Amino acid sequence: MSKITVTSPKHCAAKEGLKIKSNYKKLYFTLSAFFTSILLLILLIWLILHPAKPQFSLKEVDIYQLSLSGPNLNSSIQLTLFSKNPNQKVGIYYDEIQVYAAYKGQQITADTPVPPFYQGQEESNLITASLVGNILPVAPSLGFELGRDQTVGRLVLNLKANGKLRWKVGTWVSGRYRFNVNCVAINAFGPSIPAAPLTSNRGAQCSTTL
């Protein structure tokens, strides 16, 4: 006489629940493996290409005005920068660039925005900007520093750029990275500023940090 086993509805529900949990686990592990593979692929591409920092150099600086009026300074400077992407397989999106001039550690012009642009592989661009400072408050020591530089006959300015960029590899575009550029311009500076602008066209390499 055979034994008849009757499975209760409760037992069936438990088995069905185990199957659903098992399916969810399989789906979870499949998706995890897929996304992990994608991330590893992106990381591998990044490590192989590893983009080099963009290169900047100073082409020309023209100082049209640099005068003190009490505790305030007025300035007008025309700047030309040479920008190069040294990478053979990576393009660069410059999303934001702000340029300004500094003297003895003090900012002497307002931030001047440069229009965003894309720089292809091993491509070069010229960046021009008009830097202006109207009645900017400065430290009292700045007048003394200007007078001393006039006596020495040399004026040293820092031209700086801050911004955000993105790397482009094929169709993949990275997130934004902040970059900073610092250039040093040396201008002849006599006892009095002549009518013509003080010009420095001695190209100087700039430092770039990311």
Q: How big, in percent rounded to 5, are the helix, strand and coil portions of the chain?
A: 25, 50, 25
pLDDT at residue number 7: 53
Count other Cβ atoms within 10 Å, centred on residue 117: 13
Written as one string, the DSSP assignment of 81-126 is: EEEE---SS-EEEEEEEEEEEEETTEE-S--EE---EEE-TT-EEE
Place of tokens 């400065």: 138
**Token pair belonging to 57:** 């150099």
pLDDT at residue number 43: 67
pLDDT score of 50 more than 80: no
In 3D space, the residue among 197, 177, 179, 180 whose CA is nearest the CA of residue 188 turns out to be 197
DSSP β-ladder status, 117-119 and 124-137? unpaired
Residues 6+ apart with CB under 8 A from 187: 61, 63, 154, 155, 156, 157, 198, 199, 200
Which one-letter DSSP state was computed for residue 207?
A: E
pLDDT tier at 5, thresholds 50, 70, 90: low
Count other Cβ atoms within 10 Å, centred on residue 77: 26
pLDDT tier at 22, thresholds 50, 70, 90: low
Q: Note the pTM of the prediction, 2 decimals.
A: 0.75
pLDDT at residue number 44: 65
Average pLDDT for 40-64 = 80
pLDDT at residue number 155: 86
pLDDT in tens, 66-102: 888 888 889 999 999 999 999 998 999 999 999 999 9
pLDDT at residue number 53: 92
pLDDT in tens, 25-36: 777 778 778 878
pLDDT in tens, 140-181: 888 888 888 888 888 889 999 999 999 998 888 888 999 999
Q: State the average pLDDT for the chain.
A: 83
Average pLDDT for 42-53 = 71
pLDDT at residue number 45: 64
pLDDT in tens, 176-202: 999 999 999 888 876 655 556 777 766
In 3D space, the residue among 204, 95, 207 whose CA is nearest the CA of residue 156 turns out to be 204
Place of tokens 């550690």: 105
No. of helices (H) and no. of strands (E), the chain? 2, 13
